[in-house]
Every structure is written in structure tokens, then in C-alpha cells.
């Protein structure tokens, strides 16, 4: 690459924990293209905007072979223009729109540069994540924003037609949605023609808020991005900070973190599989799954003191040790769950109405999964072998044997089946981890002030790859925290799989992607 782009490119291997390529503003497309030519499996993990005073940094975090390659470029603040890469990688679409909203960068050539996160009547020159955006101004705008108030535009209940197409607006307030988000579904008869998502209804400004809190406070803030995968957020954040500080956590802490993360995955998967049952009208399955999820919640409470938001992670280790007496309790509970899994597998294999509703519904091909850069069980159900735990091992995953579950069908059934199999794998991981728990301290003391530096980190959350970028300026407060949640990366998959399908399949299809709007928005 150095040869082809001569001196305009600086490559810094092993920086940011991975590799970084510095390029001039005009060359970002070329670098991305070369990366794509080298490896067809390259995907984009995130695009980070960074206020650098006079300039705005734009970082494209590309994933390739278990590595994150960061393509880094800068644009002047007065005229923040950069060429869009959405035509090269369709998966960059929503990443670019988000950065455009929050940093005011114009992505030239973007197919649909409409607002994604901010309200429609947000002032044109106020970009919340820029450092010069006044906090009072942002809050005042949120409070006065007409489209955020309850009086604005009565909910359009009657479908509007547009020629042959009927426009169905689902949300932001809709009885079938558990959280607020808007989907404009264009329907031709019973067939879905197009889906236009509009997110940001539960945007809480976590990225901005974390800049005003200390690193330690941020651990508890990022946990609240998503109630379900809370431990993953906390773990990903503390790992990033530890990377910046070059802290090596004790081996025992790594194992305990692994156990908590896997418990988190178990509870998330069971919750989703039960919820999927509810969406297709299989109430019995829902009740069974959620009953079997209870012991996992109890285990989480036993280990961390909390049922849901575990607050177990801290910079330098975990906050509680795992006592010897807990081990047999963990083992018996998991053994009982393992027996139940056989029953569910039998149900998945033979229940006709369940299979009729989920098989060949919302098919996502492997090529599309790669092009749209989807992550987690959704990608694995389409035959993409990607799992951060294997590709880029963190915590104790490098030492624990486990399989990455993939399937080739790519339909709703496969996405649920992948999660069902992952539950079994998770149980085995926890089993192995408690058997091989190293002795020693479970946390080390680290200074409150973080050395200047930056790092990216990934964690395999239950819903897929979770990405964090943290930049430290040498104080107790981070300069920038970027969070890219797996649900955000999976929105394109929903659009792709819904189009061409029946409108009655939308709920089943949607739920198989494990939607979570509060973490999509952050």
C-alpha cells in the first residue's frame, strides 16, 4: 500500500492496539479500496469523529482478520468535507450518517444524507459532539425541540398511500414496539418494498456525557447504555482504558470477567429466544425460556450483587471475588440449564408451527452479510465465521476451548438456532472457567488519572461485536469515548431482510436480529 500511495500515507503498525494508517483527506477512499481488494472479508466496525481543535479527525475502523485497521484522516473544521465510502462498503451508510449528524461532516456522494440521530428541526450549525458546542445550548435545544415534544405532529395512524405503495409508519410510539423508534415501511399489498429507519428517540448523549465524568464514573455510565448487555459495555470500556494505561489485569480477574460476560450472554440469549416466541405467538415457549433465565439472573446476583446491571467490572480487575462456595452452585444451575437445552433443541427440530413461521423468513445471504458489515449471531447465521472471542481474544477466551457456531441458511430460524447453540457453548465456557480459575488477586490498584493516549477495543457482546474507542488527554476525564453497539451495525440487516418479504413476517424477522433501541441510540 505504501508503494501505491507513496508518501501521502503513513502506516503505524501496532498503534491503537492494532494498526493505524494516516492518510490525507482525499485518499480515504483509495485506502479503503485497497483494503477491500486485499481481503474480501473486510468490514467496517465504526467511524469515529474526533474534535481536534482546528480540525476534525475522521477514523475508519476497519476489521480484517481479527485486526482493527484504523484509517485516519483529518478535515478542516470550517469546511468539513470528505468523500463517502458507502458505495464501496454499504455497511458504512449509517456510520457516516451518524458522524454527519453529530460532527457536521459532509460525506460527499452519500446516497441518503438525511438526518439519522438528531431531530428534524435541530439547528443546522449545532453539532453536539464537537468540543465547541455549548452544553447549555445543546440542552436548551433538546428541551425546546418541537419534534421532541408530545404535541408535535399527531401520530399518523391512517396509512398514507403513495401511488401503489402504502406508507406504514411504525413508531416512534407504537404499541408493538417496546422502545421508541420510527420505521417507515413502504408496502405494496402485503409485500414490504422499503424500510426507512429513523433512530435517536432514546439518544441520551452517553458519548458526550462520558467526557464530563471521570473514568471510574464512566464505567457505571456505559453500563447503562444497554440493560441487557451491561457487563459487555463495562468490560469493553475498562479494557480500553487498561490498554491506554498498559495495565495487565490479574489472571483471576480475567477468568471472573469471562464468567460474568458469559452469564450475561446466557441471560441475553434466553431473553431473546423467549421474546421471539412471544412475537410469533408462542406464549408457552416464552414462559419456559424466561423461567429458565431466572437461575442465570440468580447466579449473576450471587456473583456480583445485582441481578441485571451487574457493576462487576472496574479498571484493574473486578469488584468482587468469586468464593469457593459459589462454584458448586454455579455448576448445578448450569447443569440443569444444559438439560433444558436438549428439550429446546428437540422443539426447534420438530415443532411444525414454529418452523413454519421462522424458516425461509428474512433470508440474509453471506455476501450481503459481509457487504452490510453485520455482526454477531446475525452474521454467523449467514455463514460468516466471525466472533471477537476467537478472532481477537480478550480476557480468558484465548485459553478456553469453544466452538464458533455458524449456519448457512441465514434465515430467522438460523439466527435463533445459532443463539440456542451458543447457550450450550457458553455453559461449557463457564464450566471450564470455574474449573480452571487461577488463584491470586482479583484486582489491582490503578491510578485515577489515565495516561495520555488512545485505544480501540472490541468485545463480543451477546448481539455481536461491540466497539469502543477511548482517547485520553492525561487527566481523570476522557477526551473522547466512542461506542459502536452491535444493534447499530445490524440495522442494515433488518432493512435488507424485510424488503421483499411479507409484512406479517416483519415482527418475527425483526426480533431475530435482537433489536435494542436504547443501545442503538446510546
Partner 1 sequence: MLDFLLIFRVLVFPGFTFILFFTLFCDWVERKIEARMQNRVGPAVAGPAGILQPLADFIKLLTKEEIIPRDAKKNIFRIAPIIAFSVMVFAICFLPIDGSSAISMSGFTGDLIFIMALVTVANFFLFMSGWASSNPYGGIGAARVLTQFLGYDIPLFLLALTPAFLAGSLTISAIAASQYLPFILLAPWGFVLFIIALQAELEKDPFDIPHAESEVVGGLETEYCGGKLAFLHLTRDVQIVLGAALVVELFLGGPYGPVFFGLPAFWYSLWFVLKVLAVVIVTEYVTCLFARLRIDQVLTANWRMLLPLSVLSLALTVAMATYVYPMVV
**What is the torsion angle, in degrees rounded to the nearest 10, for the CA atoms of residue 86, residue 92, residue 98 and residue 103?**
-70
Q: Which is nearer to partner 1, 254 or 357 (CB)?
A: 357
User: Binding residue for partner 1 (CB under 8 A) from 24, 179, 196, 351?
Assistant: 351
Name the one range near partner 1 by CB under 8 A: 105-113, 353-361, 417-425, 480-488.
353-361
Name the one range near partner 1 by CB under 8 A: 83-91, 346-354, 406-414, 452-460.
346-354
Residues of span 503-522 touching partner 1 by CB under 8 A: 504-505, 507
- How far is residue 76's CA from residue 442's CA, in Å, rounded to a whole number? 46
Name the one range near partner 1 by CB under 8 A: 5-13, 123-131, 352-360, 411-419.
352-360
* Count of other CB atoms within 10 angstroms of residue 331: 14
Backbone φ and ψ of 324, nearest 5°: -60, -35
Residues of span 291-310 touching partner 1 by CB under 8 A: 291
The least distance separating partner 1 from the CB of residue 356, rounded to whole angstroms, comes to 6
User: Binding residue for partner 1 (CB under 8 A) from 53, 163, 175, 440?
Assistant: 175
Interior angle at CA 377, CA 372 and CA 378, nearest 5 = 35
Backbone φ and ψ of 465, nearest 5°: -65, 125
User: Could you tell me the three cell numbers for 493?
Assistant: 440487516
- How far is residue 350's CA from residue 346's CA, in Å, rounded to a whole number? 6
- Coil, helix or strand at residue 55: strand
| Residue 350 binding partner 1, by CB under 8 A | no
Q: Give the DSSP H or E segment for 496.
A: helix 491-498
CA 198, 181, 94, 384 torsion-angle sign = negative
Is the preceding peptide bond at 172 cis, omega within 30 degrees of 0?
yes
Tell me, residue by residue from 256 to 295, as one string, x for binding to partner 1 by CB under 8 A and - for no binding. Answer: ---------------------xxxxxxxxx-xx--x----
Tell me, residue by residue from 412 to 451, as one string, x for binding to partner 1 by CB under 8 A and - for no binding. Answer: ----------------------------------------
User: Binding residue for partner 1 (CB under 8 A) from 103, 107, 354, 468?
Assistant: 354
Map grid coordinates 441481578 to a residue.
307
- How far is residue 26's CA from residue 35's CA, in Å, rounded to a whole number? 16
The least distance separating partner 1 from the CB of residue 267, rounded to whole angstroms, comes to 18
Tell me, residue by residue from 131 to 170, as one string, x for binding to partner 1 by CB under 8 A and - for no binding. Answer: --------------------------xxx-----------
Across the strands, what pairs with 476? none
Name the one range near partner 1 by CB under 8 A: 12-20, 242-250, 468-476, 498-506.
498-506
The least distance separating partner 1 from the CB of residue 350, rounded to whole angstroms, comes to 12
Tell me, residue by residue from 356 to 395, as one string, x for binding to partner 1 by CB under 8 A and - for no binding. Answer: xx--------------------------------------
Q: Which is nearer to partner 1, 222 or 508 (CB)?
A: 508
| DSSP secondary structure letters along 338-377 | HHHHHHHHHHHHH-HHHHHHHTTSS---HHHHHHTT--HH
User: Could you tell me the three cell numbers for 59?
Assistant: 477514523
| DSSP secondary structure letters along 308-326 | SS---EETTEESSPPPTTH
Q: Which is nearer to partner 1, 255 or 354 (CB)?
A: 354
Q: How, if at all, do strands 18-22 and 67-76 pair?
A: parallel
User: Could you tell me the three cell numbers for 156?
Assistant: 399518523
- How far is residue 95's CA from residue 194's CA, in Å, rounded to a whole number? 20
The least distance separating partner 1 from the CB of residue 353, rounded to whole angstroms, comes to 4
The least distance separating partner 1 from the CB of residue 344, rounded to whole angstroms, comes to 14
Q: Which is nearer to partner 1, 223 or 505 (CB)?
A: 505
- Coil, helix or strand at residue 167: strand
The least distance separating partner 1 from the CB of residue 289, rounded to whole angstroms, comes to 11
Q: What's the residue count for the chain?
A: 522
Name the one range near partner 1 by CB under 8 A: 233-241, 345-353, 407-415, 436-444.
345-353
By the criterion CB under 8 A, which residues form the site for partner 1? 157-159, 175-176, 190, 277-285, 287-288, 291, 351-354, 356-357, 502, 504-505, 507
Amino acid at each position: 500500500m505504501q508503494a501505491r500511495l507513496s508518501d501521502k500515507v503513513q502506516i503505524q503498525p501496532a498503534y491503537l492496539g492494532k494498526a493505524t494508517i494516516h492518510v490525507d483527506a482525499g485518499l480515504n477512499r483509495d485506502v479503503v479500496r485497497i483494503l477491500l481488494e486485499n481481503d474480501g472479508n473486510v468490514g467496517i466496525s465504526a467511524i469515529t469523529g474526533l474534535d481536534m481543535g482546528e480540525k476534525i479527525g475522521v477514523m475508519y475502523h476497519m476489521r480484517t482478520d481479527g485486526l482493527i485497521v484504523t484509517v485516519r484522516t483529518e478535515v478542516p473544521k470550517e469546511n468539513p468535507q470528505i468523500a463517502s465510502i458507502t458505495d464501496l462498503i454499504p455497511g458504512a451508510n449509517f456510520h457516516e450518517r451518524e458522524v454527519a449528524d453529530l460532527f457536521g461532516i459532509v460525506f460527499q456522494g452519500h446516497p441518503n444524507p438525511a438526518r439519522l440521530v438528531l431531530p428534524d428541526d435541530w439547528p443546522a450549525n449545532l453539532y453536539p459532539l464537537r468540543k465547541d458546542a455549548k452544553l447549555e445550548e445543546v440542552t436548551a435545544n433538546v428541551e425546546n425541540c418541537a419534534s421532541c415534544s408530545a404535541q408535535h405532529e399527531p401520530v399518523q395512524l391512517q396509512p398514507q398511500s403513495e401511488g401503489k405503495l402504502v406508507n406504514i409508519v411504525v413508531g416512534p410510539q407504537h404499541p408493538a414496539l417496546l422502545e421508541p423508534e420510527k420505521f417507515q415501511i413502504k408496502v405494496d399489498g402485503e409485500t414490504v418494498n422499503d424500510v426507512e429507519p429513523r433512530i435517536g428517540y432514546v439518544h441520551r448523549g452517553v458519548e458526550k456525557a462520558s467526557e464530563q465524568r471521570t473514568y471510574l464514573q464512566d464505567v457505571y455510565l456505559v453500563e447503562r447504555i444497554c440493560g441487557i448487555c451491561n457487563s459487555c459495555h463495562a468490560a469493553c470500556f475498562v479494557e480500553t482504558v487498561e490498554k491506554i494505561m498498559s495495565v495487565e489485569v490479574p489472571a483471576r480477574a480475567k477468568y471472573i470477567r469471562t464468567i460474568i460476560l458469559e452469564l450475561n450472554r446466557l441471560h441475553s440469549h434466553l431473553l431473546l429466544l423467549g421474546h421471539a416466541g412471544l412475537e410469533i405467538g408462542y406464549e408457552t415457549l416464552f414462559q419456559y425460556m424466561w423461567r429458565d433465565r431466572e437461575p442465570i439472573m440468580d447466579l449473576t446476583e450471587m456473583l456480583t450483587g445485582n441481578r441485571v446491571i451487574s457493576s462487576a467490572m472496574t479498571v484493574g480487575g473486578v469488584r468482587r471475588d468469586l468464593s469457593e462456595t459459589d462454584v458448586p452452585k454455579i455448576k448445578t444451575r448450569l447443569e440443569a440449564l444444559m438439560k433444558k437445552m436438549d428439550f429446546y433443541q428437540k422443539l426447534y427440530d420438530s415443532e411444525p408451527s414454529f418452523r413454519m413461521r421462522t424458516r425461509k423468513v428474512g433470508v440474509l445471504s453471506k455476501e450481503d452479510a459481509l457487504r452490510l458489515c453485520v455482526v454477531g449471531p446475525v452474521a454467523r447465521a449467514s455463514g460468516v465465521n466471525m466472533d471477537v472471542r476467537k478472532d481477537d481474544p480478550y480476557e480468558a477466551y484465548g485459553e478456553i476451548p469453544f466452538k464458533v457456531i455458524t449456519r448457512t441458511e441465514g434465515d430467522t430460524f438460523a439466527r435463533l438456532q445459532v443463539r440456542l447453540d451458543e447457550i450450550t457453548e457458553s455453559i461449557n465456557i463457564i464450566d471450564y472457567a470455574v474449573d480452571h480459575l487461577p488463584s491470586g488477586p482479583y484486582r489491582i490498584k490503578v491510578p485515577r488519572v489515565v495516561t495520555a493516549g488512545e485505544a480501540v477495543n472490541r468485545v463480543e457482546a451477546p448481539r455481536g461485536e461491540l466497539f469502543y474507542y477511548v482517547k485520553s488527554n492525561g487527566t481523570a476525564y476522557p477526551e473522547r469515548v466512542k461506542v459502536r453497539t452491535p444493534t447499530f451495525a445490524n440495522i442494515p440487516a433488518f432493512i435488507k431482510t424485510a424488503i421483499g418479504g411479507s409484512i406479517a413476517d416483519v415482527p418475527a424477522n425483526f426480533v431475530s436480529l435482537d433489536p435494542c433501541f436504547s443501545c442503538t441510540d446510546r
